[in-house]
Amino acid sequence: MKILKFLLIFPLLSAFLHGHPIPDIPVIGKFYSDGNSSIYIEIDTRSFAEDPEQVPFLIKSAFKQLSDSNKTDLILQAKSMIKNALQVRFGNNDWYLPEFIFDFVEQDGGDLSEENILVLQGQYDIALDNNSSFYQIRSLEEAPYDLVFTNQINGKPQRRVNVLFPNEESFKFDLSFIDGKPIAQNEIEQKSGSIVEKSSEERKEDARSTFYSFTRQGFVHVLPLGLDHILFVLGLFFLSRKWKPILYQVSVFTIAHTITLGLATLELISAPSHVVEPIIAASIAVVALENIFFPNYRHSRLFIVFFFGLIHGLGFAGALSAFDLDPTSLVIGLLGFNVGVEFGQLAVIAIVFALTFWLKDETKYRKLAVVPCSTLIALMGIYWTIERIFF
C-alpha cells in the first residue's frame, strides 16, 4: 500500500512544480567554405517562466508595449541562461562560451502581422581557417533544458542532428571543407552539393544518430517530464487491466497523436497553446471520471481517446517544429520522437502494472487502486484545466 500511495502522491506533487518540460534551445552552426561562420541560438522568452506552457508567447504587439528596461532584462536573462548551459570549441582548442549578440527577431522569418511570435536570437560570428578540423558543443551539467545541435554548410542543412541532455557533448562536426578561399553568394548553392557529399555508410550513420537522439528525446518528453501525458496514460490503464482494452486504447491514442504531431511539425496545422493546454488538462479529468462512473470498457470510448489523442499531438508539436531541419532529418526525427513517446507510454503502463500486480482480486483492485487513483487523476486534471483557463 505504501508503494501505491507513493505512486499516487508523487505525480500530484510534482505536477504543481513542473507541468511541462522547458522548451529546447536550438544551436545552429552556419559555415561557409571560405571560413566565414556564425553560431545562432534562439530562446523562447517563455523559457524564463517556471512553467513555460502557462505563459503566452511574446508577440509583436505585446513586444511594442515593453519598456526598454523590460527588454534589457529579457536579454540579461537569456545571457544568464546560455552561460549556464552551453560551451563550444573548434578543433582541440579549449571549450568556451561565445560572446553572443542578442536581439529580438520574428520566429521563422515572419511577416507584417502583429501576432507574429518574437524570440531572442543570439549570434556569434567567427572567421575560421583551413586548420579548423571540427566544431563541437557541450551542454553543461547545470543546464535545465536540452540543446539541439544542427548545422548548415553553405546554406544547406546537414542531416545529422544531436539532442543534448545536460552534461553531454555533441558529435564532432567535420570542418575539413573550409579552404579559406573567398566564396561569392551566388556560388553557395553550386558548391554546397559537392562539399557535403557523403558515402552511403556515412549517411546511414547520420540517420541512425539523428533517430536515436530524437527517440531518446521523445521518451523523456513522456517519462519523467510529461506529467500531463503520464496522467492521461494512467487514466487509460486504470479502466481495465485486460490486454485488449489497453491495446485498443493505446493504439488509437498513438495513431491520433502521431497524425497531429506530424501535421503540426510540417506546419500544415497549428493551434494556440492557450486552447490546446486546457483541453489536454480536461482530457485527463474526462478519462479518469469515466473510469469511476462507467467502469466497463466500451468501444465508444475509443472515439473519446482518439479526439484527445489529436490534441495531445499538438501539445508535443513544439519539440520538432522550432528547428530548421533538413527534410530527411525532419522525417527521421519525427519517426524517432514518436517511437520514443511510445516507449515512454509503455514504460508508464509497465511500471503501474508492476506496482498493482499484487492486487489479484478485481473487486479489491477497483476499490484500492482504480477509484482512488482515478479520483486523484481527475482532481489533477480539473485543477490544471481551471489554472490554464483563468490563471
User: Which residue, among 298, 307, 303, 308, has the nearest Cα to 240 in the 3D structure?
Assistant: 298
Look at residue 203 and tell me if it is in a domain. no
44 plus 7 within the same structural domain: no
Look at residue 210 and tell me if it is in a domain. no
Q: How many domains does the chain have?
A: 2
For residue 283, what pLDDT band results from cuts at 50, 70 and 90?
A: very high
Least confident interval from 51-65, 77-91, 96-110, 227-241:
51-65
For residue 10, what pLDDT band results from cuts at 50, 70 and 90?
A: very low
For residue 319, what pLDDT band results from cuts at 50, 70 and 90?
A: low
Give the pairing type, strands 36-43 and 25-31: antiparallel
Looking at residue 80, its pLDDT comes to: 94
Cα 129–chain centre separation = 35
Look at residue 208 and tell me if it is in a domain. no
Look at residue 196 and tell me if it is in a domain. no
171 plus 253 within the same structural domain: no
pLDDT in tens, 76-85: 999 999 999 9
Looking at residue 318, its pLDDT comes to: 62
Cα–Cα distance between 196 and 174 in angstroms, integer?
A: 10
Least confident interval from 60-74, 194-208, 349-363:
194-208
For residue 175, what pLDDT band results from cuts at 50, 70 and 90?
A: very high
- The sign of the torsion formed by the CA atoms of 323, 328, 331, 332 equals negative
For residue 181, what pLDDT band results from cuts at 50, 70 and 90?
A: low
Looking at residue 198, its pLDDT comes to: 67
Alpha helix positions (H), 357-370: 362-365
130 plus 244 within the same structural domain: no
- Of 160, 183, 206, the residue at which a domain comes to its end is 183
Residue 8 pLDDT greater than 60, yes or no? no
382 plus 292 within the same structural domain: yes
Look at residue 212 and tell me if it is in a domain. no
134 plus 226 within the same structural domain: no
Determine phi and psi for 336, rounding to 5 degrees: -60, -45
Q: Which cell is 343 given?
A: 516507449
Alpha helix positions (H), 138-294: 188-195, 200-222, 227-237, 243-265, 273-293
11 plus 51 within the same structural domain: no
173 plus 235 within the same structural domain: no
For 56, 81, 98, 121, the CA distances from 40, given in Å and listed in that order, are: 23, 15, 10, 7
244 plus 162 within the same structural domain: no
167 plus 29 within the same structural domain: yes
- Of 183, 202, 228, the residue at which a domain comes to its end is 183
**Residue 134: HSE in the Cβ half-sphere, 13 Å Cα cutoff:** 10
pLDDT in tens, 94-145: 999 999 999 999 876 554 456 688 999 999 999 998 778 999 999 999 887 8
Look at residue 209 and tell me if it is in a domain. no
Looking at residue 22, its pLDDT comes to: 53
Determine the structural domain holding residue 265 and report its residue range. 2-18+218-390
Look at residue 310 and tell me if it is in a domain. yes
Residue 264 pLDDT greater than 80, yes or no? yes
61 plus 8 within the same structural domain: no
Determine phi and psi for 215, rounding to 5 degrees: -65, -45
122 plus 226 within the same structural domain: no
Residue 230 pLDDT greater than 90, yes or no? yes
pLDDT in tens, 368-377: 999 999 999 9
325 plus 224 within the same structural domain: yes
Cα–Cα distance between 333 and 216 in angstroms, integer?
A: 10
Looking at residue 183, its pLDDT comes to: 58
For residue 212, what pLDDT band results from cuts at 50, 70 and 90?
A: very high
Look at residue 200 and tell me if it is in a domain. no
Q: Beta-carbon neighbour count of residue 56 at 10 Å?
A: 13
